[in-house]
Amino acid sequence: MPCSSAWGAYLAGGLAKAAVERPAGWLAIPLALLLPALLAWVVARLIFARGLKSGPYFSLITLALTMLGFLAAQQWSEVTGGFNGLVAIPEPPGLERYSTLFWLVALATVLSTALLGTLARRPLRVLWQAIAQNEERMQLLGYATDRMKADAFALSALLAAAAGALFAMHQGIVTPQAMGFVLSTEFVIWAAVGGKGSALGPLLGAVLIGYASTELRERFAMWEVFVALIFIGVVRFLPEGLAGLAGWRARREWVASAASRPAPPITAARPVPSLEFENLRCEQGGVRILDGLSLRLQGPGIRAVIGPNGAGKTSAFNALTAGLPVTGGRIRVGDHDATGLSAWRVARLGVARKMQVPSIFAGLSVRENLAVALWAGRLRGLDALRREPFAWHTSLSDEMIACFPELAQRLDVPAGRLAQGHRQALELAMTVLPQPRLLLLDEPCAGLSPAETQRMIEVIQRAVRELGAAALLIEHDFAAVAALQGEVYVLHQGRLLAQGNLQALQADPAVRAVYAGARK
């Protein structure tokens, strides 16, 4: 953000100086805020479109942009004033730099903090936290996380540019140090000490560290070292900062108090439940994982996929949901070619996936996990900025909670504290709530007792029946496969070895030669 604040300062300072001769130039000051925000959005969209693992690239590129901005501010002396900076920046008309301008700065601080505080009590805050905790699950639910992250980055750049503009008019000068690495480090420290999870946290950290720095920097030669130790201590022993704990409690109590109301219908049209892998091939690291897999599923109902470890069962799911690059062949979902589509685009075709290891949002409550899944495909327009979605429910969401009373008793408990079986139940409920037409269920009964396995199978059967969906379920427990009473596909070495009913496959010598199966 220091780059955005610095560009806001330079742009606003330049426009303010030009407005001395042409007062109408003050009307162009909003451009000093919008241009850095637009640049931030473009950069973020380009980087985040790479995929889920673009975080390191984003950090390096933003650092490089900060360094580039610093060099430009130093070398482009005709515009920026070079090393001496942009000087003689006037204050806004009707305001005095060391008196009334303070009130404008205070007003901007209150308004920006109030804006962020309001967002902290809206669904947008839950969605942002969910992206930070488990972006893969968000994409599997159908959220375009690259766009959401770019929007968030642009908003932060807009606020930073506004701060830079006010700084320029208050100080009357902007130097290249505003683009420097030291300032960016201070921003991180302020946010960490105050609490990055709260709207008041960064403001509190800026006031405390900023005031202490003003009073003590000249008295202690090792002041920077002392601040660094404070930062390390906060990260180690108080990760939510000074304001984090109180903010977390307030948000959860508010969500729990929301009155329920019917959720709107899913916005996207769902195709007829069908799936086809046509001569599908996937390689990674020089190893062929899927070797001409051809499999066709048509119409509603539950099918099972079995086979020895390494047969390509999970890899087939990964190929469909962008977890594995496709090097040959084609994937069709309904009438759509889904080959190479991003996970969120596949989800919007009506495909939902439950992972082999339960994939949830550990830092969010069970209630918030369910809400994020329920909102998928339903949030439209400015719904993420309204309170109403917290109260949404459907008959299916009510049924899922009724089917899993252990979740109903723990709605306000962080999902990361749930036992393995409860996490399995939570992820299955999250997979079903977006009302998909095709469910990919990867070992949903793993780690469950026989009684829990039976209940899980019954819930899956009920959900598939009510949704009119098709389900493809990976399972090693032959008792669970038999209970499904559906067609079974046997995979071996990345190919389809056989398909049919379980009894016939158990008697097939080719199947028995490579796979014996197991029972709990």
Q: What is the CATH number of domain 274-514?
A: 3.40.50.300
pLDDT at 118 over 80: yes
Report phi then psi at 299, rounded to 5: 90, 165
Those residues with Cβ within 8 angstroms of residue 427's Cβ, 6 or more apart along the chain or in another chain: 354, 355, 358, 359, 360
pLDDT of residue 200: 84
Asked whether 441 and 473 are in contact (CB, 8 A), the reply is: yes
Cα separation, 44 vs 66, whole angstroms: 14
pLDDT of residue 22: 87
Those residues with Cβ within 8 angstroms of residue 248's Cβ, 6 or more apart along the chain or in another chain: 197, 240
Average pLDDT over residues 31-48: 93
List the single range of 75-79, 86-90, 155-159, 220-224 with lowest mean pLDDT. Answer: 220-224
Average pLDDT over residues 219-236: 82
Asked whether 422 and 452 are in contact (CB, 8 A), the reply is: no
Cα separation, 349 vs 346, whole angstroms: 5
Q: Give me Rg for the CA atoms of the chain.
A: 28
Cα separation, 228 vs 208, whole angstroms: 14
| Mean pLDDT of the chain, nearest integer | 88
Q: Which amino acid is at 201?
A: G
pLDDT of residue 519: 61
Domain layout of the chain by residue ranges: 1-179, 181-257, 274-514
Per-residue pLDDT of 341-353, as tens digits, reads 999 999 999 999 9
Tell the residue number behind the tokens 């991003």, with chain if given. Answer: 342
pLDDT at 249 over 80: no
Q: Rounded to a whole number, what is the distance in angstroms from the first to the last CA of the chain?
A: 54
Per-residue pLDDT of 439-479, as tens digits, reads 999 999 888 888 888 999 999 999 999 999 999 999 888 88
pLDDT of residue 246: 59
pLDDT at 258 over 80: no
pLDDT at 244 over 90: no
pLDDT at 256 over 60: no
Band of residue 169 on the pLDDT scale cut at 50, 70, 90: very high
pLDDT at 253 over 80: no
CA 63 → CA 59, 82, 135, 148, 460, distances in Å?
6, 21, 23, 21, 48
Q: Which amino acid is at 19?
A: A
Average pLDDT over residues 107-126: 93
pLDDT of residue 21: 84
Band of residue 516 on the pLDDT scale cut at 50, 70, 90: low
Adjacent-strand bridge partners of 196: none
In 273-429 the beta strands, taken as DSSP E runs, fall at 274-284, 287-298, 301-306, 326-333, 336-337, 351-354, 392-393
Cα separation, 315 vs 320, whole angstroms: 9
DSSP annotation of 500: E
pLDDT of residue 211: 81
List the single range of 70-84, 239-253, 267-281, 397-411 with lowest mean pLDDT. Answer: 239-253
The sign of the CA dihedral 19, 67, 39, 201 is negative
The tokens of 460 are what? 């899956």
Q: State the CB neighbour count (10 A cutoff) for residue 121.
A: 16
pLDDT of residue 259: 65
pLDDT of residue 245: 62
pLDDT of residue 247: 55
Adjacent-strand bridge partners of 477: 518
Band of residue 250 on the pLDDT scale cut at 50, 70, 90: very low
